[in-house]
Amino acid sequence: MIADALKLVPASLTKHSGNNRMVLAYVLALISLCAVFLIPPDFAFSELEAHILLQLKLPVLLTAVMVGLAIGAASACLQVLLNNPLADPGIIGISSGASLMAAAFILLAGTPFGLAIGLDSLTAYSINVLPLLCFVGAFGSSLLIFILARAMGGAVSAVILAGIAISTACSAVIAWMFLVAPPSQLQSLTFWLMGSFNNTTWGSLSIAIPVVTICLCGVMLNARRLNLLYLGEQNAALAGLDTRRFQTWSLVAVALLVGVSVSLAGSIAFLGLLVPHFVRRVHGNNNALVLPLSAILGACVMVLCALVNTHLTTMTLPISMLTASIGAPLFIYVMIKGAPKFQS
């Protein structure tokens, strides 16, 4: 579809080695997928179908787009920050931290412990509280991974080991929560942790859309500074970049993007690993192009998953089941071919 969309973009619009044309092609592909999702061929603009469109399908579509944009851009940025081509919010534990905070809020609110610490009083404000808690969990886990990796020398393997440790610890805590949670909440939480676009509302989207938009703009505007990190921290500092401040700011932006995506749709597997890999293999390592293309392609994949759930199945499948089913074979292919190396 992206190749077909590329043919529709006039060559006269290209500048800077075709980068503008490529971004427009990805945008056209995303718009085409959104149109197919919203308005199928047999759609008739009756009052009932208009209500379904505005109250059911449009929130699902916006959730898919926001989650894809957030995870795609956050993962591409994170891989450069950690100097690790295999960095992914799910694999290295950032999504696990966000999921832990969300699970604690959802599961413990109705328990005696939750009543004792006042969590039940916050359930009425869950639209505002859940994204904040997910951000705290994502930022806390990413900061801890960053500190542990530095303590172990900052090698690529150190980041992976620290991420696995944090992810395992968060998963263990969630498993213990399952033992004390009310049975009525277990099924919904399990489905939520595996990813779903059906738990969102216009209220949660009204918070998520501005946050994701601001963070995406901030990350995109700093793409050229992110390119300096390819040179190493010392060389980037010699080039005039305050690396510590920039890395801290970027981690906050990544944590916000991951936290908002988890609060909207739960944990999504493999998306953040595969999308930046594909973009870098095809289009190189310039983050001025990698970041927007990773965001748009991530949104395309999420809309495709929403299309599968809406039109091709009789039941609602967890999003992580779909992405992992596609992602695992592709990940094996990437391992066989070799992970892409970062080059300036």
Task: Please give the tally of structural domains in the chain.
Answer: 1
Q: How confident is the model at residue 6 (pLDDT cuts 50, 70, 90)?
A: very low
* 8 Å CB contact between 283 and 289: yes
d(CA 145, CA 343): 24
Residues in the chain: 344
pLDDT tens digits for 154-168? Answer: 665 677 777 788 888
Average pLDDT, the chain: 78
pLDDT tens figures, 112-164: 665 655 555 555 556 667 777 877 888 888 788 778 877 777 665 677 777 78
Distance CA 130, CA 141 (A): 17
271 in any annotated domain: yes
pLDDT at position 73 is 94
Helix (H, G, I), strand (E, B) or coil at 198: coil
Q: How far apart are CA 329 and CA 91, in angstroms?
A: 16
Please tell me the least confidently modeled range out of 106-115, 208-217, 293-302, 321-330: 106-115
pLDDT of 344 reads: 45
The answer to whether 227 touches 85, Cβ cutoff 8 Å, is no
6/330: higher pLDDT: 330
What is the predicted pLDDT for the residue at 94?
79
How far apart, in whole angstroms, are the C-alpha atoms of residue 208 and residue 338? 36
Q: Which two tokens stand for residue 100?
A: 């832990």
Instruction: Quote the pLDDT of residue 297.
Output: 92
Q: Of 292 and 281, which is predicted with more confidence?
A: 292
In a domain, 22, yes or no: no
Residue 313 lies in a domain: yes
Which distant-in-sequence residues (6+ apart) come within 8 Å of 196 by Cβ? 265, 266, 316, 318, 319
Specify the pLDDT at position 72: 93
> Is residue 125 assigned to a domain?
yes
209 occurs within a structural domain: yes
Contact residues for 293 (Cβ-Cβ < 8 A; gap 6+): 22, 23, 26, 279, 283
Contact 201, 59 (CB under 8 A): yes
Residue 8 included in any domain: no
| Predicted local confidence at residue 265, as pLDDT | 85
Determine, yes or no, domain membership for 274. yes
Q: What is the pLDDT of residue 102?
A: 80
Alpha helices in 181-222 (DSSP H): 183-193, 202-221
Q: Is the pTM of this model over 0.85?
A: no
**Contacts with 289 (C-beta within 8 Å, 6 or more apart), sequence order:** 19, 22, 23, 279, 283
pLDDT at residue 268 greater than cutoff 70: yes
**Would residue 111 count as lying in a domain?**
yes
- The closest alpha carbon to 72, from 35, 30, 36, 100, belongs to 30
Query: What domain range is 318 assigned to?
Result: 59-337
Q: Give dist(CA 134, CA 258) in Å, integer.
A: 8
- pLDDT for 220 equals 92
Residues 6+ apart with CB under 8 A from 32: 1, 5
Contact in structure between 89 and 258 (CB atoms under 8 Å): yes
Calculated CA dihedral for residues 88, 93, 94, 96, nearest 10 degrees: 120
Of 93 and 59, more confident: 59
pLDDT of residue 206: 86
Question: Has residue 239 got a pLDDT over 60?
Answer: yes
Contact call for residues 300 and 110 (beta carbons, < 8 A): no
Handedness of CA 166, 167, 168, 173 (dihedral sign): positive
235 C-beta neighbours (distance < 10 Å), count: 14
Tens of pLDDT, residues 195-219: 888 877 888 888 889 989 999 999 9
Mean per-residue pLDDT for 165-178? Answer: 84
CA distance 147 to 328: 29
pLDDT band, residue 15 (cuts 50/70/90):
very low
Q: For residue 270, give the CATH number of its domain.
A: 1.10.3470.10
